[in-house]
Amino acid sequence: MKVLVTGARGKVGRALCPRLVEAGYDVRATDLALPTWDRVAPDEIEDYWQVDLTDAGAAHAVVGGCDVVVHTAAIPQPFHSAPHVVFGNNLLSTFNALEAAIVAGAKRFVNFSSETVPGFIFAYRGFEPEYLPVDEEHSIRPQDPYATAKWFGELLCERAVERADIRCTSIRPCWVQDESSYERNLGPIVRDSSIRIGNYCSYVDVYDLCDAVVRVIETDLPGHEVFYIASPDTIGGHPLVDTVREHYDGAGIAFRDLERADASAISSAKAQRLLGWTPTRSWRDYLDDDGRSRR
């Protein structure tokens, strides 16, 4: 089975391509970065294309012949580019990749959406989630261009399965971490639970996320489904309820039943139930109790 990974040089793509090869898939990779003109290294994908997915013709060319498209490519947040650039790039690239997948007769389109879709993480006028842990049933009220484009991408998938013989899955990853980012990103929060982040101390390990993508590719779920993918615990193991009540403006947030005191503010129960996905990695595998690298 031929699987295309867009955004192959990004944090997720770099981990996902070898994981898919390990799982037995024939992988094509694409990104904006230059290819390797000489003989590729053993850990590189030989079938790599330099493509701007906002160009419809280029998108159709790179998708041709692929059975599955995993679309991770995006400007990853709304801060370092103009709003129209973030929105335009992220939505148009998703539209073009999905249209190309339909024309190519691909069986499944895996859309990388975002935990930001409900709107409260990057809100211009701040508001609280209605409840924690957030799940796929939470209301959606995005204000910023990044979350709005990601939501619109989900809507494209929702309609695509009604007009074409393709199955779509939208993944909403939590804050993704790999070996190079754990200490820099999470270390300060491990040491100090008062450091506030928009998703209430939630994260996901990139390799657990890659395992979830493999599950999505292998599922026979019809139509379009949305899944949050998050680690089961908070950054630093801080108790969720106590942390939110003490350090966040969370007076109006309702708390649903928690499986553990340090449960993530993002629920992956649906992914565990329908995909059989189980996260196996934690910040504790990378950091000690002071947030310093173990490696």
Q: How far is CA 168 from the centre of its chain?
A: 15
249: pLDDT confidence band, cut at 50, 70 and 90?
confident
Question: What spatial distance separates the first Cα and last Cα of the chain, rounded to whole Å?
Answer: 36
What is the per-residue pLDDT across 200-231, written as a single tens digit (0 to 9) for each?
Answer: 999 999 999 999 999 999 999 999 999 999 99
What is the per-residue pLDDT across 132-186, written as a single tens digit (0 to 9) for each?
Answer: 999 999 999 999 999 999 999 999 999 999 999 999 999 999 999 999 999 999 9
Decide if 30 contacts 97 (C-beta within 8 A).
Answer: no
pTM: 0.97
45: pLDDT confidence band, cut at 50, 70 and 90?
very high
Decide if 147 contacts 122 (C-beta within 8 A).
Answer: yes
Mean per-residue pLDDT, 83-89:
98
Superfamily for domain range 2-178+203-230+265-280 = NAD(P)-binding Rossmann-like Domain (3.40.50.720)
Residue type, 169: T
Which residues have a Cβ under 8 Å from the Cβ of 83 and sit 6 or more positions away?
A: 144, 145
When the pLDDT of each residue in the chain is averaged and rounded to a whole number, the result is 97
Give the separation between CA 68 and CA 72, rounded to whole angstroms: 13
Decide if 87 contacts 54 (C-beta within 8 A).
Answer: no
* Cα-based distances in Å from 288 to 105, 182, 188, 191, 206: 48, 11, 12, 10, 19
Pull the structure tokens for residue 218: 């292998």
Res 53 pLDDT > 90: yes
100: pLDDT confidence band, cut at 50, 70 and 90?
very high
Give the separation between CA 65 and CA 146, rounded to whole angstroms: 30
Give the separation between CA 33 and CA 26, rounded to whole angstroms: 21
Give the separation between CA 275 and CA 278, rounded to whole angstroms: 9
- pLDDT at position 41 is 83
- pLDDT at position 184 is 97
